[in-house]
Amino acid sequence: MPAERRSHPVTLADVARRAGVSQSTASRVLNGSERTVGGELAQRVLAAADELRYSANVQAQAVARGTTTNLALLVSDIATDYFSSMTAAVMSAAELAGLRVTIAITERRLEREIELVRDLRGQHARAIVLAESGTRSREGVERLQDELEGYEAAGGKVVVVSRTTMPFDFVDLDNFGGARRLAVALTRLGYKRFHVLGGDEGLVTTRERIEGFRDGLAERGLELPDSAITFSDFSWEGAFGAVGALDDAVLSNTQALFALNDEMALGAIAGLRNRGMRVPDDIALAGFDDIRTLRNVVPGLTTVRVPTAQVGRAVVELIAGGAQSPTTVPATVVIRESTPRLN
């Protein structure tokens, strides 16, 4: 039977009337109630819903149940390879768990984060995942934490990707350990004089990767003075500008640059090229993350691999209650042509 023309949306009551059952019976069939409905009645309800082209009101279900199957992923920027890979990993794992993902871009703005959390609380989202690298003041952290605690008190779940000072479950990307192992690996290749291209000083990621690198050098009897760190924006453009501003004496005395992420490493390559220097002929270079773009980079970039697929699974397991926080995802050093062994 063709669907009826209607001037208003089809409701659950319309389906129940067409199937000749009560509205509560139709609801149990269509909304997945634990109370099962007999086969013949269920088939009548499903047939009626199909004929009327009924679509469930997800928002109404959320109010009734107190939550939805919606997972809200908050990221600072979807344009970078790292965050796009992270997003894809979370979406893939969420789909297998029966969760629907919505994505919001925060642009590293605190007010935007707080606004989004308030909206999601009203929408009864099941979980909020913070997967971003925003810089926040102490006051900013406290304000965001208050909003997130209110969201959890209302029945939601918060998961943070990367270590956090806030009292929520998080997936630890092992920034410290990965950077430490990279430092040890580079010294074993013969490198002794380093310069670090650091991201924004206020980022937890920046601090952990610098501290890890310093710890690895100390293990090998080497130091990384503050003068050997140049801070900039955590981006291609930031590293490009930072390399362009380095003194010739600093570059000539540096055997290897360590950029705190691969986007910065690619910016550093361009910046060095602009100064007439080549990697690795004139200076060695290493990054962090092992983004997909590196497949097309020549020479191959030494980096620290963060397995985003594993990160996505860990996030969803924390939401579903199948893992304990913190969940640590190991970071693995990958040596490539950009850091050849020194004679």
Residues 296 and 206 reside in one and the same domain = yes
| Angle between helix 262-274 and 81-96 (nearest 10) | 160
* CATH code for the domain of 145: 3.40.50.2300
Residues 234 and 281 reside in one and the same domain = yes
Residues 140 and 227 reside in one and the same domain = no
Judge whether 160 and 166 are in contact, CB under 8 Å: yes
User: Quick one: pLDDT at residue 1?
Assistant: 42
Share of the chain above pLDDT 70, in %: 89
**Which domain, by its residues, includes 20?**
12-56
Average pLDDT over all residues of the chain: 85
Residues 28 and 138 reside in one and the same domain = no
Structural domain total, the chain: 3
Tell whether 1 is covered by a domain. Answer: no
Give residue 242's pLDDT band: very low, low, confident or very high (50, 70, 90).
Answer: very high
Share of the chain above pLDDT 90, in %: 38
- Which of 6-10, 312-316, 337-341 shows the lowest per-residue confidence on average (mean pLDDT)? 6-10
Tell whether 312 is covered by a domain. Answer: no
pLDDT, one tens digit per residue, over 275-287 is 999 999 999 999 9
Q: Indicate the residue among 172, 207, 229 that finishes a domain.
A: 172
Q: Indicate the residue among 136, 156, 172 that finishes a domain.
A: 172
Tell whether 296 is covered by a domain. Answer: yes
Going by C-alpha positions, the residue among 110, 340, 80 that lies closest to residue 233 is 80
Q: Which two tokens stand for residue 11?
A: 């409701």
Residues 133 and 182 reside in one and the same domain = no
Tell whether 321 is covered by a domain. Answer: no
Residues 291 and 188 reside in one and the same domain = yes
Residues 23 and 74 reside in one and the same domain = no
DSSP type of residue 2 = P
Tell whether 76 is covered by a domain. Answer: yes
Residue 33 above 80 pLDDT?
Answer: no
CA of residue 80 relative to chain centroid, distance: 11
Q: Across residues 269-274, what is the average pLDDT?
A: 96
Q: Which two tokens stand for residue 106?
A: 């925060």
Q: Give the residue, 24 or 217, on which the prediction is more confident.
A: 217
Partners of 289 in beta bridges: 305
Q: Give the residue, 174 or 28, on which the prediction is more confident.
A: 174
Put simply, whether the predicted model's pTM sits higher than 0.85 gets the answer: no
Q: Give the residue, 56 or 176, on which the prediction is more confident.
A: 176
Tell whether 343 is covered by a domain. Answer: no
User: Quick one: pLDDT at residue 52?
Assistant: 82
User: Quick one: pLDDT at residue 35?
Assistant: 52
User: Quick one: pLDDT at residue 64?
Assistant: 45
Residue 320 above 80 pLDDT?
Answer: yes
Going by C-alpha positions, the residue among 149, 129, 130 that lies closest to residue 320 is 129
User: Quick one: pLDDT at residue 25?
Assistant: 82
Q: Indicate the residue among 156, 172, 188 that finishes a domain.
A: 172
Residues 287 and 196 reside in one and the same domain = yes
User: Quick one: pLDDT at residue 110?
Assistant: 81
Tell whether 206 is covered by a domain. Answer: yes
Residues 213 and 294 reside in one and the same domain = yes
Tell whether 260 is covered by a domain. Answer: yes
Judge whether 198 and 229 are in contact, CB under 8 Å: yes
Judge whether 102 and 72 are in contact, CB under 8 Å: yes
Residue 77 above 70 pLDDT?
Answer: yes
Which residues are CB-neighbours of 85 under 8 A, at least 6 positions away? 291, 292, 308
Residues 198 and 294 reside in one and the same domain = yes
Residues 151 and 232 reside in one and the same domain = no
Residues 181 and 277 reside in one and the same domain = yes
CB atoms within 10 A of CB 226: 7
